[in-house]
Amino acid sequence: MASEAKVTWIGPGLRLVGEASSGPAIVLDHVLPGEEGRETGPRPMELLLLGLAGCTAMDVVSILQKKRQPFTGLEVRVTAERAEEHPKVYTQIHLEFVVKGEGVDPRAVERSIDLSQTKYCSASAMLGKTAEITTSYRVVEG
């Protein structure tokens, strides 16, 4: 299965616009020293984390729906550490899943996360080659 994407420099600084064959464009940015606070989009490495969180979130939502769990919300929070030396790859990534809903079975949440991480999420499989990926979850009533 082939995928296509492109980025185009639009300036100022390091601002790019990215386009993929599947949908709308996204702005990527990395401000130069002295321009802090003027970001218009995530940095490319942050986009990798968003891709990981999105990939596993879609898996977990799909699995929880198939398990007929009464959840009303899902949030995946990501924290990560990078190597000190170039190319400064991610070395540790933690995914915290916050599932909202009344009567959600924590075992179903745990199993859904496990299936995503070990079987379905290609972003986890790729990033797991350089980073230790850990997970935790909370079920919040409401």
Residues 93 and 114 in one domain: yes
Integer CA distances (angstroms), 113 to 34, 75, 80, 94, 128, in order: 41, 12, 18, 13, 15
Percentage of residues in the chain having pLDDT higher than 70? 100
What's the N-to-C CA distance of the chain in angstroms? 40
Q: Tens of pLDDT along 5-57? A: 999 999 988 999 999 999 899 999 998 787 777 889 999 999 999 999 999 99
pLDDT of residue 33: 81
For residues 11 and 31, membership in a common domain is answered with yes
Find the domain containing 12 and state its range. Answer: 1-41
Residue-level pLDDT at 81:
98
Tell which residue, 93, 104, 116, 109, has the closest CA to residue 141.
104
Domain CATH for 109:
3.30.300.20
The pLDDT of 52-70, averaged and rounded, is 99
Are residues 61 and 85 both part of a single domain?
yes
Residues 71 and 111 in one domain: yes
Whether residues 35 and 97 share a domain: the answer is no
Task: Read off the pLDDT of each residue in 55-78 and give the average, rounded to a whole number.
Answer: 99
What confidence score (pLDDT) does residue 23 get?
Answer: 87
Vertex 90: Cα angle to 84 and 106 (nearest 5)? 140
Residues 63 and 125 in one domain: yes
